[in-house]
A and B are shown apart, each in its own frame.
Chain A
Amino acid sequence: MPKPTLIRTSAGVAATALLGLTVAWLCSLLPLTGAATSSSEQLLEPRTSVTRHHAPASDADEGEGLDVEIHGIRGTEGRILIMVFDRATAYRAYDYEQSVGYAEIRPRTSTVTHHFRQLRSGPYAVVAIHDANEDYELNMQGDVPSEGYAASGAKGPYHEPSFQEAASRARHRRLAMHYLR
């Protein structure tokens, strides 16, 4: 029966860890093509233009852009508002009119996704609100949000990341929707 040495086994474990990190890092750089929305969501006509500061993408740009996934959504009422910011001032104000990307999606499952085809550079900070009462506001009870909210770079439900913490050039952003009420 084979009896590998401790050194060989340790080297194997280390090589496995290195392989895992390398493969995962390469996969995070993969471009994403295909349909912009999943079958589980209904993309609504946004109130204003989706993009403001970028030229429309050509067919050659397919695979570029910003891919946003929001998970942990509770319920199917209202809509998910996704805002993408490239400036700290607009980000801090949650001002959708100054966002470079904006989408409204009616959730049908606990996850919604959206592809901002025209957003090709960055860094971008992404914010999402579960606007359950459809008033286009993040409702508060005192200092605590009473609706779901998500922000890129947030380390937990009570962490409000700065623009520097939230902004990234990563093409795929996965955000968790937090509910404190």
Chain B
Amino acid sequence: MNWLTDRISEEEIYAWELLVDDGFFVIALAFLFFEVARYAAQRALSWKLLADALTNYATLAMFIGVNTVLLSGAYVSAYLLAAEFSLFSIPISWASVLAAVLLADIAYYWEHRFAHRVNLAWATHSVHHSSPFFNISVAYRFGPMDGVWPIFFHIPIVLLGFNPFVVFFAEVVVQVYQTALHTESIGKLPRPIEAVLNTPSHHRVHHGANRKYLDANYAGILIIWDRLFGTFVEEDEAVVYGLVKPLDSVNPITAFFHGFWRLIRNALGCTGFWGKLLYFVRPPDWSEEG
């Protein structure tokens, strides 16, 4: 078991991050072909589904443009600065990487819950939920500020003493795991797995616009956080995907920006200056009418 505590260099961790992130993108593309064939066999394939898949990848391209060009410098700088004030000094080994993945997973739970319950964050995250379909291409449907909120929830892990490269890698692991959950082609898994891990079934619930499924199952890898913190819902009825107020468009520009368009429109509709300002931090299901 010595390999768990063998030293790993930052370069090696970065190489693993690229392999996991980019490698799974290729696997996901292949899986998408399988899903399209499955829909075709079920006579459920439509031009709208194919157009929606293209829209998903278009939003990915726009998201990469926004985050890589505008934010990556700030992202990396923030992590490196935080490392200067770390509480503990934690060496890089597979043991500490596993621990970082655990902490990144619980950090993701709170970040995800924040994204669903605060309008300013929901404005970007709602893009991901706006597809009326559920296949692996939906996993790559991103909003313009999706790369911003993770900083605030994962910097504490750097402050605890984990190497910034390790935290980046842990975030990628949590994201890639969830990517694989975006499918209708996998039913419920054996109960021990469904009890502990996030699964396609749990994540279908999360994407549901059904009233009982709203704001549930925020987990990344471990569903136990939802069970512990009171946000778990079992899949027991057919899921209606998309938003409560559907976005009926496959235009990628419309899809990418609709969340912020709705945010600003709704805020302007509130009474008074403070009413408008506070709207940004209220939950999406809040209204002045109550």
Contacts and interface: CB of A to CB of B under 8 A. Distances in A.
B106 A16 contact: yes
Interface in B171-217: 211-216
Contacts of A19: 103, 106
A47 B95 CA distance: 35
Interface in A1-43: 1-2, 4-5, 8-9, 12-13, 15-16, 19-21, 23-28, 30-35, 38-40
A33 B7 contact: yes
A173 interface: yes
Contact of B96 (A13, A30, A38, A111): A30
Interface string B211-235: 1111110000000000011111100
Nearest to B230: A4
B67 interface: no
Contacts of B110: 13, 16
Interface string B88-118: 1111010110010011001100100000000
Contacts of B106: 16, 19-20
Given A2-B216, A8-B229, A23-B102, A30 B162 contact: no
B258 to A, nearest CB: 22
Interface string B65-93: 00000000000000000011011111101
B99 A27 contact: yes
Which of B2, B214, B230 has the most chain A CB within a 10 Å cutoff? B230
B230 A32 contact: no
A96 B5 CA distance: 30
Given A30-B91, A174-B86, A24 B160 contact: yes
A20 B157 contact: yes
Interface of A is mostly: mixed
A44 to B, nearest CB: 19
A32 B231 CA distance: 39
Contacts of A16: 106-107, 110
B150 interface: no
A33 B160 contact: no
Interface residues of A, number: 42
Interface in B38-60: none
A63 B5 contact: yes
Contact of A28 (B5, B88, B103, B157): B88
A23 B99 contact: yes
Nearest to A38: B9
Interface string A94-123: 000000000000000101010100000000
Contact of A25 (B88, B95, B216): B88
Contacts of B86: 174
B11 interface: yes
A27 B232 contact: no
Smallest CB-CB A-B distances: 4 pairs: A34-B6, A4-B230, A24-B160, A28-B88
Interface of B: 2, 5-7, 9-11, 83-84, 86-91, 93, 95-96, 99, 102-103, 106-107, 110, 156-157, 160-162, 211-216, 228-233
Interface of A: 1-2, 4-5, 8-9, 12-13, 15-16, 19-21, 23-28, 30-35, 38-40, 62-63, 67, 69, 71, 109, 111, 113, 115, 170, 172-174, 176
